[in-house]
Amino acid sequence: MRHPSEWRQIGIVTIYIGLLAAMYFVPACRNPLFYAAAFYFSFLNSVVIHNHLHQGIFHRKSLNMGWRLVLSFGALYPASANIPSHNLVHHHFEEDGQPDWADPEIVHFRYNLLNLIHFPNVAGPQTFSGVQRWKAVLKRKPFTRQYYREQFFAFGLTAVLLVHDFWTGLFFVVLPQLWGARGILRINIIQHDGCDLTSEWNHSRNFVGRAFNWIMCNNGYHTIHHNKAGLHWSQLAESHNRDVVPRIDPSLDEPSMFWYLLRTYGFRFLRPTRASIAAAEQEAASLPLASRVDRCTEAAARSGVSGL
Amino acid sequence: MSGQWAWGQLPYAWLGVGALVVLWVNTGLVVLAACRPIAQLLDYRRRFLGGAEGIIVEGEPLARHVIAQNGRRASDDSDRRAIIFHDSDHHGRVAGGVIETGVAQRLEIDGLPNEDIEVWIDEAGRAAAVAKLEEADFDEAYRAAAKASGYRREVCASVGVGCKIWFTDLDPAGRALLANFDPVAWCLRRMVWGMLGILAMIGVLLGVTGLLLQPPIFGPMSTLGGVLGLLYFLLVQPAGVMLRDALAPPSRSMLRGSWAQLGSEGLGATGGQAATKSSE
């Protein structure tokens, strides 16, 4: 294993798969506690996909590829889709002339809660059609082979469970899987809506609660993750406090995601208007940063796939 | 369905109702989202109905639809080299000219600012504009596409002397429209497609729901409804996005496309409409 902190990610996925297996095979486990936990851990499984596709957990390539199969089953989509959709396209925003497939502006409801609910309905298909285009034209054979292996494993195993017992499989495996997959898409609107995507430091919203970041493997620190995509997730908190805090608008450092969601989607009807948030960045000393495209080339190299 | 229900366990009936509610709410959102482009088409149609049509007699070109694209090297395969394009911007330009709108009626129009000018060019016109660009040196473009900044190009589809056009006056907001095909009929056709698409989504969902609720619930027919409901949930989302893209006006619809050559001899270039279809 590359880093001792990876045990946390392995633990998360093990618990998640254990919950699904327990609910599927043991009727006594089909209770609200297990069910709620399965939905929550499904989202965390998608967080682990994100981290693993930036930096593989293991030294050995075969183990990393095998781990992707497990993660793909957990989220019911090929984990390798993250390479083009997240590492290469989302991390660039629109700097390279290609619209982000998960741009917060792809949803337009006046009632803001509907934007949050509907977002995966647009971002998901855009992502997968984008990956198909990328895959079809690139003809990257190792990527394509791995992508199909993950698809075969994820859909195949899920299909076996559905054929064996459709309703149990649907309620206790497929619904949690879909929740996690759609949840990780929703994170895009949560972390970027209302931010200044043209700014170097104020393009993302951070959730900085300590407990939240422990279980989320530091995925609350999103600005520094964008700016230093090659940084291991265990180092994000320190780097956030050192480099990001002096340069971002304090409103982009949210203490609690739960409170943010309630405030933004529960207690208000309309979508918040974008405020001028880049003042802190202009006043602070500048830091040398590579272009977004170059940063992503580094991230892509770590994923074992060269950049577009 | 396996096992007997015991205290503390989640009843399958509750979960089934919950899943059905999610299915309906999600479809409702997809349908509501599809209403937006239909409403926009209605507005376009209304504006074009208040406009005029004529033949361009001066102005070469009178107007252009410009699609800024960025191309990236797409393949290192020895047998096929390709550049894949993404649209980064769409805008219209009216350079000005003279339009004959009827017997002895000539309308002179000045150049207009780019903002809020929408120029609708048909697919053949856009494909011709792409083909013209791809007469250039592929090797040079391929080298540029390998750089971080990519290979940038502007596809300019234009209308000039002899073309029949439909156009509107500048409205109080400074917006104007111009098309080289009958936009009123086009809007109507697309609105009908949109409405049919929405009706199909609702119709299929009603059918799936009917099947799901066939007694005995969770029996064979109901289970078939469950399978179809799951497939429907997964497919209605791309269907909604496809509908949105199909209803986009030509001034904003994605061109994308790829430019490929086989081997180092430069065989088999794809361009224009064929290239667009190859990657969309």
Query: Is the pLDDT reported for residue A260 higher than 70?
Result: yes
pLDDT at B75: 65
User: Bridge-partner residues for B128, per DSSP?
Assistant: none
- Residue A123 and residue A132: Cα distance in Å, rounded? 14
ipTM of this predicted structure: 0.90
For the segment A173-197, the average pLDDT, to the nearest whole number, is 95
Interface size between A and B, measured as CB pairs under 8 A: 126
Residue A143 lies in a domain: yes
Hey, is the C-beta of B36 within 8 angstroms of any chain A C-beta? Answer: yes
Confidence of residue B273 (pLDDT cuts 50, 70, 90): very low
Backbone angles phi, psi at B181, to 5 degrees: -145, 170
Confidence of residue B278 (pLDDT cuts 50, 70, 90): very low
CB B57 within 8 A of CB B161: yes
pLDDT at B5: 58
The amino acid occupying position B87 is D
User: How many CB atoms sit inside 10 A of residue B169's CB?
Assistant: 12
Confidence of residue B65 (pLDDT cuts 50, 70, 90): very high
Residue A248 lies in a domain: yes
Q: Which residues of A touch B223 (CB under 8 A)?
A: 166-167
For the segment A81-102, the average pLDDT, to the nearest whole number, is 79
Among B25, B29, B77, B234, the strongest candidate for a mutation testing the A interface, having the largest count of A CBs within 10 A, is B29
Query: How many domains in chain A?
Result: 1
SS3 B261: strand
User: Bridge-partner residues for B73, per DSSP?
Assistant: B83
Residue A121, CA atoms < 13 Å, CB-side half-sphere: 30
Backbone angles phi, psi at B56, to 5 degrees: -75, 125
User: Bridge-partner residues for B178, per DSSP?
Assistant: B119, B167
Q: Which residues of B touch A170 (CB under 8 A)?
A: 19, 226, 230
Closest Cα of chain A to B162: distance in Å? 35
- Cβ separation A170–B1 shorter than 8 A: no
pLDDT digits (tens, 9 = 90+) for B146-156: 887 889 999 99
- Residue A123 and residue A127: Cα distance in Å, rounded? 6
pLDDT digits (tens, 9 = 90+) for A26-73: 999 999 999 999 999 999 999 999 999 999 999 999 999 999 999 999
- Residue corresponding to tokens 């792409």: B130
Residue B259 CA to its chain's centroid (Å)? 20
Domain extent, residue A17, equals: 6-302
pLDDT digits (tens, 9 = 90+) for A108-123: 999 999 999 999 999 9
Closest Cα of chain B to A241: distance in Å? 30
Hey, is the C-beta of A28 within 8 angstroms of any chain B C-beta? Answer: yes
Query: Is the pLDDT reported for residue A97 higher than 70?
Result: no
- Cβ separation B238–A128 shorter than 8 A: yes
Confidence of residue B49 (pLDDT cuts 50, 70, 90): very high
The token pair at B68 is 């800024």
User: Among candidates B65, B85, B138, which has minimal Cα distance to B257?
Assistant: B85
Who contacts B58 (Cβ-Cβ below 8 Å, separation ≥6)? B97, B98, B161
- Cβ separation A35–B10 shorter than 8 A: yes
User: Among candidates B66, B71, B106, which has minimal Cα distance to B86?
Assistant: B71
How does strand A253-254 pair with strand A206-207? Answer: parallel
Tell which A residues from 98 to 117 touch B, by Cβ distance under 8 Å.
98-99, 107-109, 114, 117
Residue A248 CA to its chain's centroid (Å)? 22
Confidence of residue A302 (pLDDT cuts 50, 70, 90): low
Q: Which of B16, B25, B80 sits opposite A139 (nearest CB)?
A: B80
Hey, is the C-beta of B256 within 8 angstroms of any chain A C-beta? Answer: yes
- Of the two residues B103 and B265, the one the predictor is more confident about is B103
pLDDT at B77: 62
Among B5, B12, B80, the strongest candidate for a mutation testing the A interface, having the largest count of A CBs within 10 A, is B12
- Of the two residues A1 and B205, the one the predictor is more confident about is B205
Confidence of residue B1 (pLDDT cuts 50, 70, 90): low
Hey, is the C-beta of B70 within 8 angstroms of any chain A C-beta? Answer: yes
Q: Which residues of B touch A120 (CB under 8 A)?
A: 237
SS3 B40: helix
Residue A1 lies in a domain: no
- Residue A152 and residue A15: Cα distance in Å, rounded? 23
Residue A308 lies in a domain: no
Query: Is the pLDDT reported for residue A83 higher than 80?
Result: yes
Which strand ranges, in their side-by-side order, compose the sheet holding B258-262? B151-159, B63-73, B80-94, B258-262
Residue A225 lies in a domain: yes
Query: Is the pLDDT reported for residue A305 higher than 50?
Result: no
Task: Give the Å distances, CA to CA, from B95 to A247, B63, B65, B251.
Answer: 44, 6, 11, 17
Residue A307 lies in a domain: no
pLDDT digits (tens, 9 = 90+) for A231-256: 999 999 999 999 999 999 999 999 99
**Rg from Cα positions in chain A:** 19
Q: Which residues of A touch B16 (CB under 8 A)?
A: 167, 171
Q: Which residues of B touch A128 (CB under 8 A)?
A: 238
Task: Give the Å distances, CA to CA, from A11 to A45, A52, A261, A265, B253.
Answer: 10, 14, 27, 32, 46
Query: Is the pLDDT reported for residue B104 higher than 70?
Result: no
Who contacts A226 (Cβ-Cβ below 8 Å, separation ≥6)? A91, A203, A204, A292
The token pair at B113 is 């600012």
- Cβ separation B29–A114 shorter than 8 A: yes
pLDDT at B272: 37
- Residue B54 and residue B207: Cα distance in Å, rounded? 49
pLDDT at A293: 60
User: How many CB atoms sit inside 10 A of residue A112's CB?
Assistant: 19
Residue A236 lies in a domain: yes
Residue A162 CA to its chain's centroid (Å)? 27
- Cβ separation B32–A126 shorter than 8 A: no
- Residue B36 and residue A108: Cα distance in Å, rounded? 9
Query: Is the pLDDT reported for residue A226 higher than 50?
Result: yes
- Cβ separation A167–B16 shorter than 8 A: yes
Tell which B residues from 103 to 122 touch A, by Cβ distance under 8 Å.
none
Residue A238 lies in a domain: yes
CB A150 within 8 A of CB A78: yes
Closest Cα of chain A to B106: distance in Å? 41
Mean pLDDT of chain B: 87
